[in-house]
Chain A
Amino acid sequence: MTVTADTPAVAIRFTLNGEAVSALDGETILQAAQRHGVEIPHLCYTNGLRADGNCRACMVEIEGERVLAPSCCRQPDEGMTVHSDNERARRSQRMVLELLQSDMPETTYTRDNDLDSWSQKLALGKPRFAPRPAVAADLSHPAMAVNLDACIQCTRCIRACREVQVNDVIGYAARGSSSRIVFDMDDPMGDSTCVACGECVQACPTGALMPANDAGLQQPDKRVDSVCPYCGVGCQLTFNIKDNRILHVEGRDGPANHNRLCVKGRYGFDYVHHRQRLTRPLIRRDDAPKTLSPDIDPSDYSGIFREASWEEALQHAAGGLRDIRDRKGRKALAGFGSAKGSNEEAYLFQKLVRTGFRSNNVDHCTRLCHASSVVALLEMIGSGAVSNPVQDVAEADVIIVIGANPTENHPVAATFMKNAVKNGKTLIVIDPRRNNLARHAQYVLQFQPDTDVALLNGIMHAVIDQGLADKDFIADRTNGYEDLKKHLENFSPEAVAPLCGIDAGTLKEVARVYASANASMILWGMGISQHSHGTDNSRALISLALLCGQIGRPGTGLHPLRGQNNVQGASDVGLIPMVYPDYQRVDNEDARKRFEKLWGTELDPEPGLTVVEIMHAVLDEKIHGMYIMGENPAMSDPNLNHARKALASLDHLVVQDIFLTETAFYADVVLPASAFAEKTGTFTNTDRCVQLGRQAIDPPGEARQDLWIIQQLATRLGCDWHYEGPQQVFEEMRKAMPSIAGISWQRLQQQESVTYPCVTENDPGQPIIFREDFPTGDGRAQFVISPYRHAQETPDPEYPFVLITGRQLEHWHTGAMTRRATVLNELEPSPVASLHPDTLRELGAEAGDPITLSSRRGNVEVTARADDAVQPAQVFLPFCYHEAAANLLTNEALDPDAKIPEFKYCAIRVSTL
């Protein structure tokens, strides 16, 4: 058990080595001993894993018992007499260590060998037993080295893989002295289903499992605590640095991850050292006109860009923007900020656009992600952020995961969902693909894509029909129920079953399970949001939760899993055309007046344009100049041929990034910026936790801090800014944003993580919100009905397949970072599309063949991957490969309310070569 401040103070008094000691309720003898400073050797026991009691190094004598007892697994009784250091106990402890040492190899695999350190402490001599036969190394995995000659069969790796991460790759096979840890069915690690989360490496006490290439043997010269740059889970980690290079990464005990990491966070850090890092400002050559395809080698751009000094580049960059603002009007400019940069950077960016460009044409990739979820949440319950943190799955009885693939995209969050299932919670997975979470679920609804509204309305109908609607909650805390009820009359389970492909019985059962549980929680992702009816999809989910009163308590609520590491933060600090920081509308007079006062200048009262609208406006020649920081619309926007045409036609484009991305290809000026590990700033994860990222290494060459670059441009655009660093920016943010007013920089440095709303400095932060009321006008939630509509483009004889775009575990979004991370790119090196094996056969193709996917808008060539998790007549395509950019195919049909494109559904055809 973990002893915390809340642990009851009931003491069990016993005697240890002649001294009177006491154990807290639930403590084992070993834990009590540790607390009293008494060392008992132990190998298979470690904090954070279930105690297994197999190594037998921790044996103690309990008076009155025939045999010795494993102190890691025994709780003391009142009055017990225990000996850990008498002759009998020591003999067993030493013999165990000696037996294990006799089989250990000469080679050192780790600087941190628990068996060696205990052997030294107990002054063990050379082992007297002949060693076992040697075991060959398994170096088949790019990230991890397996040297089982150093394995002591402590099974910590098994518990790490099976009980912590629940990836279920490592097994304990055979028997007796042949017992060995295996991957899958005794396969090389690199061939197995291992997802390289590295939890086993972190758990291994003897170096049998280590980072590859001896990375763990090098002595770092400093260790820096920070957070992960990839996804919205916001895992805390530690960078191990030597000579300004990251050696390796370890998990840290943050509230969202508890020492866990995934393959990206743990092994995908070396992109910061890639040779293609931008190190000098670049200016477009006069003799290099913009072409449509970003057909450039990021290593050799000399035909298109020339290097320049910072002074020249900043002059040119700001000058061009200022020019357009002054001559063509302030609405002729737009800015895309970054959801990967810090809160401070995002805050200054939107301030630059609002006070420097003087319009509200600022947006970021949330538009392509959870915009529809946020619109629906704001509309119905007055707040766009999650109501409960991911960790609340442990408090829930029932968990619905819909339109999300967390084992790939929020892997550490998914581990907690799997833990909840192992603890007896009910998991319901709703997705057109049978994803890796489905195996753990009690209910798997592999429905027809695009039919979410029908399915959810059907479930709601069944809730009401079975008398399971929460009448009190509806009466006390909502408006509009009668309209919803009437609307749902046409959506009986029997009526929707043929539409969504899930039988009425299952829909009713799911309704019953969700509604009648004490605490039910819904988590969702892009499958819900990235549709031209994404807002309607989200409305249906929110209605379901409200209908059943499953919100405002632990283990309940609504959790749109935020993708980017700082998309929540970027949205919160106002990187959005319609709202200022903290979602105060730009067309609200009170809000605007407050910000005019805070920023000392007049502000545009008209909401700005969103991402895709901006592309249209460029082609309509309404927008002539753009400033894009840490975003890659030339890969992430829908209908890329169209979007790229827009980027190419800009009069002036300034791109600030760490690599020459596909977007930078269209730039007039490229400004080399700082990677995540090279900056200090705050980042807000999906749970509304503001966390501190600390700088661990220096940027390469002449690359500069993003914060500095933004300020330089702002100054040249007429802003009078004097921020010395992120801390100062943060202090201003607190003034602008009531939600974080209670978080000081000092508090972040001490606590590492503070949840908002945190209104005063004494406020501990509120992980669960909506307990009493909703932040709407009258404190009530509003039901909004969802009509059933189809995607804008559906399959037809010419384009008979459905294209579903999405992500992979190993790659992040447009691939700018992860294609340049050695391990990640080796695990997934080139473009693939997944199709059902039957579909491939019908096409006359085999798994591994090259195939072409074409839509009305473009085509790509990829390798076919046979995967029966995908339904026939559907194709899954990740959007991370620039050689086969998925968005060349996608449809830019927008949700009318959220303006989010329909990434999850369009019509394609598949042909073999």
Chain B
Amino acid sequence: MEAKSASRPKHKRKRTRSKPRGRAVEPLALEQVRRLLGNEPRRRDLLIEHLHKLQDSYGGLFARHLVALAREMNLAHTEVYEVASFYHHFDIIRETDPDPAALTVRVCDSVTCEMFGANELVQQLGSSVGDNIRVQRVPCVGRCDRAPVAVVGKTPVDHASPSSVIACIDKDKAAAVAAPCTGLEQYRSEGGYVLFESLLAGDISPKDIITKLNDSGLRGLGGAGFPAGRKWQIVSGMPGPRLMAINIDEGEPGTFKDRHYLERDPHRFLEGLLIAAHVVDVAEIYIYLRDEYADCRKILQRELALLQDNAALRHPPIQLRRGAGAYICGEESAMIESIEGKRGMPRLRPPFVAEVGLFNRPTLEHNLETLYWIRDILQQGPEWFTSNGRHERKGLRSFSVSGRVKKPGVHLAPAGITMHELIDEYCGGMLDGHTFHAYFPGGASGGILPASLGDIPLDFDTLNEYGCFIGSAAIIVLSKHDSVKTAALNAMRFFEHESCGQCTPCRVGTAKAVTLMEQTNWDQPLLHELGQAMMDASICGLGQAAPNPMLCVMKYFPEELTHDSDS
């Protein structure tokens, strides 16, 4: 040991890191993740599925598990984090965060549920449930005809009251049993899949089918309204492999028709799906189901397994994917991003999904209900479909009606029916003591019309000149007890909450609009200017349609903006 020189100062030792930068993988967490994933592939597109496994098993996404998952899937930490943090059904729990609640009660506070007392329900529950129970406001859960709705864990409580919710909590989720659906066996015994089998046998030609579809005038029933036959034609012409993606992300406030059909007659939809897949010759099928429809998931899992085991009904592989609480994933390209395991951010178009879609392949994308009608149209003929209709419109629409009517629910009615006719002929009239005042003709994004415009035929294209559209035919009926201004603000808050955050007009515009709409006096010129930019410059339909309710208030309900009324 050499003698140290006296001139040498004591070296000031700064603290150095005891491990490489960032979070280290914990061996136990890695072991847990590996066990949870089992033999499932570690493919990137399965990220959201794997996150669900973690959320379901541990009640939340703990940082240590996210790190381990990143290692397993060969992703960077931020790649996992940015996806997890996008979806509201995932609870990220960082090292210093408290443990997740034992149970979450989700109270819907969208338009109809708010009309029926959601805010009060939230407050009352908040002060009555135990500390280990979290009460969360959530957007539309697709049960608007039974508003207000609370979901205890995965169990819905319709027409919820504080006592019924607490009773459900106490009974530990043994609540309403869903109506039994038509299973595979019953569906076949009633003539189901005969059509598909003839297609497989070559008794019908794909060309014929497309012609019939074109003749029926069937348009996409998710809201975009693209002619179904033409879509099949376009995608068939694209180079293979072609893929198919089914949108059951039914999230538009006021809509619940897809759930309605899925709970009752899933195979009618599945048969339509298989026919489409065969005609367009797709290699793989992905079904995207919103996570709020937990019971539907059980139904689909069961029925798809039965279908798969049925050798006669051969079909391409079908994968069922869960949403994770993001309305924007109802937008077709955002849904595709989500199936790819990414944040649900809509893509810029062009190119369109038919050309560059899922995994960059040409993709046939459909709403559930559009496929639901394929069998009937093909078996009963396009003329059957077109023979329905009113006021010179053609076809049938499944109207999801909620609000101040005696009989809310799904009403299959002629396309072109007017609001007055729908209320009187199908909904049993207005609730006692309620006078028809206003209506949302197409969910939160379709705008708001006054009762004085209750004679417009409700169909594609008929509402555009009024600044509205029918979309998914989600009708919310307001009476004079309701404030349209409040409903419009509810809608804009919904869009702010659900905006993916990608583009300025929507991300910032919805937030600024909410602030402006919360004022007693609306700055109408500024809101008009803002609305115009959002409609012109947003990337997708969410931003483009978000101004509709507020613009309708200014146009059709100016009286609500002159006195400070909040009913």
Contact = CB atoms under 8 A, between A and B. Distances in A.
Interface of A: 53-57, 59, 67-68, 70, 73-74, 88, 91-92, 95-96, 99-100, 102-103, 128-130, 132, 152-153, 168-179, 182-187, 191-195, 291-293, 295-297, 300-303, 439, 826, 828-832, 834, 837, 846-848, 863-869, 883
26 contacts: A54-B504, A56-B537, A70-B348, A74-B350, A88-B536, A92-B505, A96-B533, A96-B537, A99-B508, A153-B501, A171-B82, A172-B82, A173-B86, A174-B501, A176-B507, A177-B499, A185-B63, A185-B81, A186-B85, A193-B77, A194-B21, A295-B8, A826-B14, A829-B13, A865-B18, A883-B11
Contacts of B14: 826, 829-830
A863 B18 contact: yes
Nearest to A194: B21
Interface in B1-31: 2-9, 11, 13-25, 27
Nearest to A301: B7
B20 to A, nearest CB: 5
Contacts of A92: 505, 532-533, 536-537
Contacts of B18: 846-848, 863-866
B507 A179 contact: yes
Interface string B494-511: 001111111111011111
A297 B562 CA distance: 80
Contacts of A301: 7
A185 B537 contact: no
Contacts of A829: 13-16
A192 B504 contact: no
Contacts of B25: 868
Contacts of A128: 523, 526
B275 to A, nearest CB: 32
A829 B502 CA distance: 40
B501 A297 contact: no
Contacts of A847: 18-19
Closest 7 pairs (CB-CB, A-B): A179-B501, A848-B18, A171-B78, A168-B76, A829-B14, A171-B82, A193-B22
Nearest to A51: B348
B309 interface: no
B535 interface: yes
Interface in B73-131: 74, 76-79, 81-82, 85-86, 88, 92, 94
A172 B20 contact: no
Contact of B511 (A70, A95, A177): A177
B22 A175 contact: no
Contacts of B350: 74
B22 to A, nearest CB: 4
Given A56-B537, A88-B536, A169 B76 contact: yes
Given A168-B79, A185-B81, A59 B539 contact: no
B512 interface: yes
Contact of A439 (B74, B501, B508, B523): B74
B510 A176 contact: yes
B544 interface: yes
B533 A176 contact: no
A839 to B, nearest CB: 13
Contact of B77 (A184, A297, A869): A184
A178 B7 contact: no
Given A176-B498, A865-B20, A183 B529 contact: no
A826 B17 CA distance: 11
B18 to A, nearest CB: 3
A99 B505 contact: yes
Contacts of A129: 512, 515-516
A187 B512 CA distance: 28
Contact of A100 (B77, B86, B508, B530): B508
A855 to B, nearest CB: 16
A867 B7 contact: no
Nearest to B25: A868
A172 B343 contact: yes
B398 to A, nearest CB: 27
Given A296-B8, A847-B19, A153 B507 contact: yes
A830 B497 CA distance: 47
B13 A830 contact: yes
Given A295-B5, A296-B8, 17 more contacts: A57-B504, A67-B544, A91-B529, A91-B533, A153-B501, A171-B79, A173-B81, A173-B85, A177-B499, A185-B63, A185-B81, A191-B22, A192-B21, A193-B21, A295-B2, A830-B15, A868-B25
A132 B537 CA distance: 21
Interface size range on B against A:
35 or more
B23 A185 contact: yes
A868 B14 CA distance: 24
Contact of B536 (A68, A172, A175, A832): A68
Contacts, number: 213
A172 B516 CA distance: 27
B236 interface: no
Interface centre among A132, A168, A172, A176 (most CB of B within 10 A): A176
Contacts of A291: 2-3, 5
A293 B9 contact: no
Nearest to B5: A295
Given A68-B536, A185-B66, A867-B19, A176 B515 contact: no
A875 B498 CA distance: 50
Interface in B521-554: 523, 526, 529-530, 532-533, 535-539, 544
B302 to A, nearest CB: 32
A881 to B, nearest CB: 10
Contacts of A179: 500-502, 507
B537 A170 contact: no
B501 A95 contact: no
A168 B81 CA distance: 12
B19 A866 contact: yes
Contacts of A865: 16-20
A176 B22 contact: no
Contact of A184 (B81, B507, B529): B81
Contacts of A175: 85-86, 88, 326, 498-501
A457 to B, nearest CB: 30
Contact of A296 (B3, B7, B526, B533): B7
Given A54-B539, A96-B533, A193-B21, A182 B81 contact: yes
B543 to A, nearest CB: 9
B78 A185 contact: yes
B63 to A, nearest CB: 6
Contacts of B530: 95, 99
Nearest to A168: B76
A59 B539 CA distance: 11
Contacts of A848: 18
Contacts of B544: 67
A300 B5 CA distance: 11
Contacts of A169: 76, 78
Interface string B256-294: 000000000000000000000000000000000000000
B536 A103 contact: no
Contacts of B86: 173-175
Contacts of B512: 99, 102, 129-130
Contacts of A102: 508, 512
Contacts of B496: 176-177
A832 B18 CA distance: 8
A372 B564 CA distance: 85
A59 B537 contact: yes
A170 B77 CA distance: 9
A303 B85 contact: no
B532 A91 contact: yes
A867 B63 contact: no
Given A67-B536, A297-B9, A96 B505 contact: yes
A68 B537 contact: yes
A278 B528 CA distance: 68
A303 B81 contact: no
A146 B9 CA distance: 36
Nearest to B516: A129
